[in-house]
Amino acid sequence: MKTELEKMRSQELFSYRAPEIQESMRHAKRLCSRLVTLNIYDEEYRPLIEELIPSIPASTMICPPFFCDHGHGIILGEGVFINYNCTFLDGGEIRIGNRTFIGPNCQLYTPHHPLQVEERRRGDEYELPITIGEDCWLGGGVIVCPGVKIGDRCVIAAGSVVTRDIPDDSLAAGNPSTVKRRL
């Protein structure tokens, strides 16, 4: 029988009220709260960000403040740069490829709540992973919705809401975002 955490990572309906899920979130919230008072040059910054996101490469930088649900659901490539005030709801995994830049105030959401009110009342939800390829650039204020895949070498214009997959080598913009041209 799967734990609620295993169900969460497997895109199955799970209870976010389960004690193991709540403990994971409490841990991340404590670390995110501490990050608010730091900058990337503080001695305490690197050990704290590595505790929050255990697999973070040394060449990757996240500018505080940064907010996430778990931290251990975030998989970052080499040379990734995440600017100020980003929110990653990482119940489903969020994978970001090498050398990708994420602008300030970007929001990546993996939670997908059930349409049936009874399931929502119970505290059940699904988590759909987000994948962003290598050498991408997401402008400030971009929102990426659950289950979206953004290909390699893409540029997503500031303020866009990405609701569908974006193929490699694309410039996308708008709400909802659409491919404007190939790069």
Alpha helical stretches, state H, 116-171: 117-122
Q: Are 19 and 33 in contact (CB under 8 A)?
A: no
Cα separation of 73 and 55, whole Å? 10
How many Å apart are CA 54 and CA 31, to the nearest integer?
12
| Residues whose CB falls within 8 Å of the CB of residue 62, separated by 6 or more in sequence, listed in order | 49, 53, 56, 82, 86
What H or E segment, with its residue span, contains residue 87? strand 86-89
In the structure encoding, which two tokens stand for residue 35, read together?
């990050």
Catalytic positions: 113
Adjacent-strand bridge partners of 181: 171
Q: Beta-carbon neighbour count of residue 170 at 10 Å? A: 22
